[in-house]
Structures are given as structure tokens and as C-alpha cells.
Amino acid sequence: MNFPQRLLLSVAFCSAISAAAAGSAAAQTVDVIHWWTSGGESKAIKVFADEYKKRGGTWIDSAVVGGTAARQAAMNRIAGGDAPGAIQWNIGVAVTNLAKEGLLADLDDLAAAGKWQEKLPPLIVKNASYDGHFYAVPTDIHGDNWLWYSTKIFQETGVEPPKSWDEFFPIADKIKAKGYTALGLGGEPWQEALLFRSVLIGAGGKETYRKVYVDHDAAAAGGPEMVKAFETFGKLRPYVDQGSAGRKWNDTTIMVATNKAAMQIMGDWAKGEFAAAGLTPGKEFGCARPPGNQDAYVLTVDVFAFPKLDDPEKTKAQKLLAEVMMDPATQVAFNQFKGALPPRMDADVGTLDICSQEGQKVMSKVENQLPNTALAFSSDVEGQLQDLITQFWTNPEMKPEEAAKQFSEIVANADI
């Protein structure tokens, strides 16, 4: 064989190798729809993307601002025959309904190999599966009910985090007298509903919360404890600033981070915003359980579901991503930015911050685990409850008794 022939053969061989590599990369491509666009969230999702790339995959990032918009975008693509490879969702009734409709690929082989049944909390196993089959990969366990506070304002005012709602109001008065916003709140329905759930636990009691959100007890949803919760909720209005309406949650977190607001009740994803601002828990900001929430952990669990696809190569790519997301070390690295806890109970949380360590102590007790609205009701019912809570918040003329009555009616007629 002469030199030109050898050269042509070498070029052909290299081209074949390149084509095979390109084909392999293409086969490992996943288009991921998610709504993690804030500073801390962006750093967190990058952990998954980078690890997926390390394992030979190609990550197409299809971020959409806002959970509602992202879910709608995913459903539009599925309906249009252009399903993405992976979609972010909050675990609960909505994901179960997608599985019931046959839209999701089951992950049973991965679940069996990884012993998910043993490694995940029972509440998550129940809601990540349907009819005995796993359909969702949990990536984090967020606690809805956290109190974040400015250590500077608390020190200047000489106060400690309130342990009950009765303690909250005199503390808030002292803070307000110093010229600060006592309670930071973003005026969006989901934020107001999140705050209300913490108020319900603290003012109405954990058992009332459980009756409403677990047992769907309409009588409890309209009872005296619910009336008390709405009364307490209404009393918070004077402690929120005038610029609240329509403000995003992370912009409100920055108010605490920059010592403009003393407190914010928000999920532990807020911690990612503090971290992105270069702040350290226990120094520039503090974390505590909201008033009366010391033995309660309201779970919001982010999951990724994988639409059923006809192409077996794309299905392989989906399963590679699922493996990445369920890797315990990757979950820890992800949640260092996300501010949440790894769903895998065998993950080593020793490297996480003091807030996560405290949260783990509360969350690890099954009796303290409470569902958020998405875990308890359908998207339609969740929207009705959010609208009611926003209506009450924005209309001081509305009586707590009327709000509780309407809450009860929604629960009584819920399609779960």
C-alpha cells in the first residue's frame, strides 16, 4: 500500500470514528424544560448539566421563567408531538395524572437497580409512582416553611426569631418602629398561599393542617382553627411594604439580604439567593422555623419526569439523565446550591450548611412531614385555594369567617 492510499485509509478511519462519536453524542441528547432561572437555581441546575456532560450526554437547556409557564410549555410540546426529553414538575397529583394518561415513561428498571423504594421517604415513593411503577425522579426536598431574617436588623432591634404568632407581632412592631419592613412578601398568589400555610400550622395547629391537606376534611377547612388562621393572616398586612404587589420571591429575599426587610417566610430555595449574594447562614442572615412551625416540615419536592418517546436511543438518553439525578453525591452537590435536602436518605448531608442540618432533624421524623398543596390537591383545586387566599389578602373587608367558609366549600368539592 503506497502513502496516498494509507493517507486515504487513515482519513476514512478517522472520519468513521468521528461519525460514530457524533452519533453517540446525538443519541445521548436530552432537551430539558425547567423553571430554575434565578441566581442560586441556575448554579444548581448546572450541576446536573455538567455531570450529564461528563457521562457523555448533551444537555439542551430549555429554561422557562415561572413554574406555570414551564409546565404549560411542556404540555404544549407533548400535545404537538414534539415532547421534550425531561420536564421539571412539583411532585403531586399533577404528575400522577400525567402517568395515568400514559404520557410518561416508567423508570422501574432504574428504580429496582438503585433500590429507590428503600432509599426514598415513603411520602415521596407514594407520589413518585403510580400503580406500582416509578414515573418521576426526585431531585430535592424543600421545606416551604422557613423564616429567613436579617441578623443586622435583629441585633439592632434586640429581638430573637418569634416562636409563636403571639410573639411575632410585638417583635414586628419594634422592627417597624426602627423604619424597616418587618415582613418581606412578594405579592403573587403562590407566595401568599405559602405564607398562609405557615400561618395555618402556627395559628390553627398541625393537626388541623393535616385534616385539611391530608384527609381533605371540609369541616376542619371551615372550622374555628381555620378562622383563627385567616384572622392571624390578615393581621400581617400592616407589616408588609407597599411595593409587595407582583414582586418576585427572589427580589424579596434580596430585601432581607440587603437589610431592607427583617424577615421573609419562604421555602429553603431562598437560601440559594443568599449564597449567590455571598452571604453565610448564621452570620449575615439567619434561619429559623416560622412561628409555631417547630415540629412541622411542609414538603415541596421537585422532580423530573420523562415523556414517553418512540425513539429507543432517546429513551437511553433519558435514563442516563435519570441515573445522574439519582446519584447521591450529585444530589448533595446540587442541593448545596439549591438550598434543599437530597431526597435520597443515604446521601451524606454532612457538608451542607447549618440550616440544612437543622432542617434534616425536623424533616427526618415522619410525623413532622406535611404535604404542600400540590401534594394534596389537583392543579385546579390548588389554583382555587390560591385565588381565595389572594382575595382575602388584598381585600381587608373580607371576613375571616367568610374566607374559611369558602375554603371549606373548595375542599368539599375538590376533585383531588
pLDDT at 40: 81
* CATH T-level topology, domain 143-299+368-413: D-Maltodextrin-Binding Protein; domain 2 (3.40.190)
Spell out the CATH class of 28-141+300-359.
alpha beta
Give the residue among 142, 109, 121, 86 at the shortest CA–CA distance from 297: 142
Q: What's this model's pTM, rounded to 2 decimal places?
A: 0.81
Cα four-point dihedral sign 311, 65, 355, 44: positive
pLDDT at 27: 53
Which residue intervals of the chain bear CATH 3.40.190.10? 28-141+300-359, 143-299+368-413
Task: Tell me the mean pLDDT per 10 residues along the chain, length 416.
Answer: 40 36 58 92 95 97 94 96 96 91 96 95 91 96 96 98 98 98 97 98 97 97 98 98 95 98 95 89 97 96 96 95 97 91 91 91 91 90 97 98 98 89
Distance CA 388, CA 383 (A): 9
pLDDT at 20: 37
Distance CA 110, CA 370 (A): 27
pLDDT at 122: 87
Residue with cell 410518561: 104
Bridge partner residues of 307 (DSSP): 104
